[in-house]
Chain A
Amino acid sequence: MEAFTAIESVLVPLDRANVDTDAIIPKQFLKTISRQGLGQYLFYDWRYLEQGGQLLPNPDFVLNQEPYRNGRILLGRENFGCGSSREHAPWALADYGIRAIVAPSFADIFANNCVQNGILLVSLAEAEIGGLFEKTAAVKGFSVRIDLAEQVLRTADGQLYRFGVDPSVKFKLLHGLDDIQVTLQHQEDIKAYEAGRRFLMPWLFHWHET
């Protein structure tokens, strides 16, 4: 996983509440057995129009407009990423090049999945988010810089927003770590727990024989 340090980008405004995982990546793209290549389908139903059997970019959708096309940071509204547990959503975001999302709140499973894929979620107060939307509307190509180590988001016009982040998430993102390696260092604890459980609640283990 790619380590996350600091990132600077135009802020891509996606002015909708409850952006769900079906919108981020519709189900027809969940049939893949790989993690790669989903970026082209990101926000598929919003991003493309079907015309006479042809697929054309929808000019009204923000990612089809300059200077947002190569944006790395999304600005969203509340409950971003609600819906299914599909990790295809962060895979598509990451494959497209999105490295951070700034919004008032995120759905739980989506948030977990983002961390696993090196995407930083920055939650700010509703009013701060409102302010950022106003700025993106006022200034074309309004950009920000997010520094994870310092936990600050700096806007191009010099404003500074501090954000909270779970220390373990921060550590993982900064180092691009794989959880399984870390967990397997606790093998002996897991085995001990398992032995105890097997003794107390054997029916959870002996299901073939019962």
Chain B
Amino acid sequence: MAGQTLYDKLWAQHKVLEEPDGRTLLYIDRHLLHEVTSPQAFSGLRNAGRKVWRTDANIATADHNVPTTDRRAGIADPTSRLQVETLDQNCADFGIEEFGMMDKRQGIVHVIAPEQGLTLPGMTVVCGDSHTATHGALGALAFGIGTTEVEHVLATQCLWARKSKSMRIWVDGELPPGVGAKDLVLAIIGRIGTAGGTGYAIEFAGPAVRNLSVEGRMTLCNMAIEAGARSGMVAVDDRTVEYLRDRPFAPSSALWERAVSVWKELHSDDDAVFDREVHLSGDEIAPQVTWGTSPEMVTAIEGSVPDPGNAPDAVRRQAWENALVYMDLAPGVPITEIAVDRVFIGSCTNARIEDLREAARIVRGRRKADSVRSVLVVPGSGLVKAQAEEEGLDEIFRLAGFEWREPGCSMCLAMNADRLESGERCAATSNRNFEGRQGAGGRTHLVSPAMAAAAAIAGHFVDVRTWK
């Protein structure tokens, strides 16, 4: 019998029961909640007179709607305020622990759970949010769910699911200096397409992945969803274990030793067979920039805007044409000639401490270009913010003319006051470049933190590999 994949192991360990048709009731170890996708779930419970099955498996925070400026004044927008207050009230009523807006542990749900040790290897982790795939970086099976499923998890601690197919994305070699996890994942999406992972659970593996820090692996898994996969994961290794040591909610002393010995088994067996294998060479990855309105519309920094005439098929030709109109770009324009109006450094993809360090490294001693209207730096959590301030990164950003903000989703999806004006072009470290994502009519180019910082300084995209 062939060995098991990491996904096989995680799946098998969480099976409560399996129906003859393959539908499986999976046990959920950790459920993360935020204000946008939970209110209807709680009202569903109330209406049916149901309780929360296991309160200590849940943790909540407000992130999507919260202001990133001074919070003592509260939330100005009444609908945002109502949603955040509704979460506070629901957590109080149902006995769920919440990191509220004024708590320094508050932040983007996918940043704070690993940071607190609330995500642990071997767990199933779900959240009413598609970027839940992030948590797979710690050797967990993590995926996004809808609100009806949020209600289901609250009421039963389980979910019905069918096993996906498995895909391994193997990255050989080593990423060149100046090239990071974000470039890697964009290059992967460019290769397999935004539907390439549909129906699959992706495991990222190979020397270049092993070589990434745990935070880099989170960036990688975070965007599994942009490749169409509900979950992405990386096997547990020493880095995973070291990352978790002494985290507030991670086990300690004798339990720690026991847990670590169990976690060490969380990798695919050597003879495991995947339904699909994709190979990339890490050495060949260049900094990536998206030029269109789908993450698969991406190219290397030395590339140029493609000609829809060269699209592989008619459907894509149409999509490229639409994208170029929306993005106001002409075929053949070199990426380095695209000027930006704003820069956003943040989101669950790239707002952890290493991302901010990487951006600060580029910025140190420089100022943003005058043509750039604003640069927002939004840390992923209150603790990331505190750490950055301790290291003086906030000063580097401020001296460069960047704005240093309070943690939250911010201009990743522009649900709060941070957004693009129609027609503005933004270099963003977030994960989606859909039409209107960062504000109606706004144009988004997805890049790494280093590339975003460099674009802010230069006023247009530049190759950070040659940045001095």
Contacts and interface: CB of A to CB of B under 8 A. Distances in A.
B40 A35 contact: yes
B437 interface: yes
Interface stretch (A2-10, A54-62, A148-156, A196-204): A196-204
B148 A203 contact: no
A184 interface: yes
Contacts of B43: 33-34
B437 A87 contact: no
Interface of A: 15-18, 20, 22-23, 26-28, 30-35, 45, 77-79, 82-87, 90, 105, 107-109, 112-113, 116-117, 166-168, 179-180, 183-184, 186, 189-190, 193-194, 197, 201-208, 210
Contact of B37 (A22, A86, A90, A202): A86
A18 B436 contact: no
Interface string B383-424: 000000000000000000000000000000111000000000
A113 B148 contact: yes
A184 B50 CA distance: 11
Contact of B315 (A17, A112, A202): A17
Contacts of A87: 37, 40, 128, 146-148
A77 B195 CA distance: 12
A180 B48 contact: yes
Given A34-B39, A35-B40, A186-B25, 10 more contacts: A17-B316, A26-B440, A30-B36, A45-B440, A86-B37, A109-B145, A166-B21, A193-B27, A206-B251, A208-B56
B56 A83 contact: no
B432 interface: yes
Given A18-B294, A189-B25, A201-B259, A79 B436 contact: no
Nearest to B160: A179
A183 B129 contact: no
B156 A180 contact: yes
14 contacts: A18-B294, A23-B434, A31-B415, A35-B40, A45-B436, A84-B144, A85-B37, A116-B149, A168-B21, A183-B25, A183-B160, A201-B262, A205-B56, A210-B249
A105 B434 contact: no
Nearest to A207: B249
B145 A27 contact: no
**In the complex, which of the residues A18, A116, A197 has the most CB atoms of chain B within 10 Å of its own CB atom?**
A18
B450 interface: no
Contacts of B130: 83-85, 109
Nearest to B248: A207
B17 A85 contact: no
B148 A117 contact: yes
A30 B160 CA distance: 25
B144 A31 contact: no
B131 to A, nearest CB: 8
Give the contact-size bracket for chain B.
35 or more
Contacts of B255: 202-203, 206, 210
Contacts of A84: 129-130, 144
B415 to A, nearest CB: 5
Nearest to B19: A168
Contact of A189 (B16, B23, B151, B152): B16
Contact of B195 (A32, A82, A86, A201): A82
A183 B195 contact: no
Given A22-B437, A180-B50, A108 B194 contact: no
Interface stretch (B75-83, B99-107, B168-176, B460-468): B75-83
B4 interface: no
A83 B440 contact: no
A113 B156 contact: no
Given A45-B435, A190-B157, A203-B259, A179 B148 contact: yes
Contacts of B162: 166
A61 B296 CA distance: 25
B213 interface: no
Interface in B295-317: 315-316
